[in-house]
Structures are given as structure tokens and as C-alpha cells.
């Protein structure tokens, strides 16, 4: 690698790939070094330990910066369009980080600091959505609702699809006949309709 940053990023990428294939406990720092094309000493110089590699990966692959930019610059205050782009971005980020998500889940008891880092993502996203709902309500574009309950409903709906789609073998997937695009289009349309001020008119 030509720079310190690119070396670090390359190590993180290879570590996540290996841990996704073999599990956190099934991978050694030597294997990570070999896959990254660096010495084991370089691994320790950058991270200090295998646990620190996983912690750094969790921090590096956070979807919050992307979501923060989305909420700041891409929303149009059209409820259905906004909830669609939020959900679409969420699904894309979760799929990109799929290996890390399962590693963090599997190690939630043995490495609580890693689980705590991973849990910051949904907590922060919930706050973004709650603030958006409050702003939409103030604009008269959303009926009065419990903002936290509705934010969690949106997150649970999306998380449920991701977990089902990602965790079951292809021949057992209950959603195998429903594409992500179809799921988002149908579910967001229904969800948004229930939140609009004229929903019961």
C-alpha cells in the first residue's frame, strides 16, 4: 500500500472479509496480514490487536455519515419519497456491512464494546427520523403521532426485511419472490399513507 491510510483501510477490508467467512474467533492476525499483503508487525503497529481491528472496522463502516448527509441535503418533504430514500439507503448500507453486522451480533456478549459501537447506528438513525417526523408535523404534512414509535416501526420494518433476506438460505427465504425494490415500494406506500393528515378523510 502506498500510504498509511490506504494500508489501514486495506487491512480493515481484508479482516472483515475473513471474519465474515470464518467468524471472528476463527481468524488470526497472521491470516489477516497474509490476506492484506503486509507483515503481522504492520497489523500490530496499526491496530495493536485483533479486537481493535474489529472495533476500528465498526467505526469505519458506520452508515451514520451517509445518513446525516441524506437528511441534511436530499429530503424533499414529500413523505413517501423521503421515507423511500431513507429506507433504500438503509438497505444498501446494511447489505454493504452485512459481514460486520453478523460479527457484531455474534460477539455481543464477548465484546460488549463492539456491540455498543454497532448499536450507535440505529440509535442515531432513530433520532434523525424522529426529528424529521417532528418537522413534517410542524409543516402540517404529518398527522400527530408518537414520533419515536413511528420511527421504530419504520426501522423494525426495514430491519426485519434485511435480517430475513440476509440470514436464510436461498431455498428457504420467505421473501425470495419479493425484490428489495418491490418491498420498499409497497411497504413505504402503505406506511406513508397511514401518516398523512388526510389518511382518515
C-alpha–C-alpha distance, residues 12 and 10, integer Å: 5
Domain identity same for 151 and 93:
yes
pLDDT of amino acid 133? 98
Query: What CATH number does residue 13 fall under?
Result: 1.10.10.60
Same domain, 25 and 114: no
Whether residue 65 sits in one domain with residue 52: no
Residue linked to cell 438497505: 91
Any domain includes 117: yes
Instruction: Tell me, yes or no, whether 200 lies in a domain.
Output: no
Same domain, residue pair 77 and 19: no
Contact 156, 181 (CB under 8 A): no
End-to-end CA distance of the chain: 62
Same domain, yes or no, for 115 and 153? yes
Instruction: Report the range of poorest mean pLDDT among 44-53, 160-169, 184-193.
Output: 160-169
Q: Which residue segment(s) compose the domain that 23 sits in?
A: 4-59
CATH number where 164 lies: 1.10.357.10
Q: Does 201 map to a domain?
A: no
Q: How far apart are CA 74 and CA 189, in angstroms?
A: 19
Higher pLDDT, 195 or 98: 195
- Together in a domain, 167 and 135: yes
Three-state SS string over 15-82 comes to HHHHHHHHCCCCCCHHHHHHHHCCCHHHHHHHHCCHHHHHHHHHHHCCCHHHHHHHHHHCCCCCHHHH
| 31-60: pLDDT as tens digits | 999 999 999 999 999 999 998 998 888 888
pTM metric for this prediction: 0.82
pLDDT of residue 175: 47
State the chain's mean pLDDT as an integer.
Answer: 87
Query: Quick one: pLDDT at residue 112?
Result: 80
DSSP string, 130-179: HHHHHHHHHTTSS-S--HHHHHHHHHHHHHHHHHHHHHS-TTT-TTTTS-
Whole-angstrom Cα distance, residue 20 to residue 105?
Answer: 12
Same domain, 147 and 181: yes
Say if 101 falls within a structural domain: yes
* Pair (80, 31) in one structural domain: no
**Number of domains making up the chain:** 2
Amino acid at each position: 500500500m502506498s500510504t498509511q491510510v490506504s494500508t489501514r483501510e486495506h487491512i480493515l477490508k481484508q479482516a472483515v472479509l475473513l471474519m465474515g467467512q470464518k467468524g471472528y474467533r476463527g481468524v488470526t492476525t497472521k491470516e489477516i496480514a497474509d490476506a492484506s499483503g503486509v507483515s503481522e508487525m504492520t497489523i500490530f503497529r496499526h491496530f495493536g490487536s485483533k479486537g481493535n481491528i474489529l472495533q476500528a472496522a465498526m467505526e469505519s463502516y458506520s452508515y451514520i455519515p451517509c445518513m446525516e448527509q441524506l437528511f441534511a441535503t436530499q429530503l424533499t418533504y414529500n413523505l413517501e419519497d423521503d421515507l423511500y430514500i431513507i429506507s433504500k439507503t438503509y438497505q444498501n448500507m446494511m447489505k454493504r456491512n452485512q459481514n460486520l453486522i453478523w460479527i457484531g451480533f455474534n460477539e455481543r456478549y464477548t465484546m460488549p464494546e463492539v456491540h455498543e459501537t454497532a448499536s450507535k447506528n440505529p440509535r442515531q438513525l432513530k433520532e434523525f427520523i424522529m426529528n424529521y417526523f417532528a418537522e413534517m408535523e410542524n409543516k402540517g404534512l404529518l398527522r400527530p403521532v408518537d414520533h419515536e414509535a413511528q420511527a421504530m416501526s419504520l426501522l423494525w420494518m426495514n430491519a426485519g426485511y434485511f435480517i430475513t433476506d440476509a440470514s436464510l438460505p436461498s431455498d428457504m427465504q420467505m421473501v425470495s419472490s419479493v425484490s428489495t425494490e418491490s418491498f420498499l415500494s409497497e411497504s413505504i406506500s402503505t406506511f406513508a399513507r397511514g401518516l398523512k393528515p388526510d389518511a382518515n378523510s
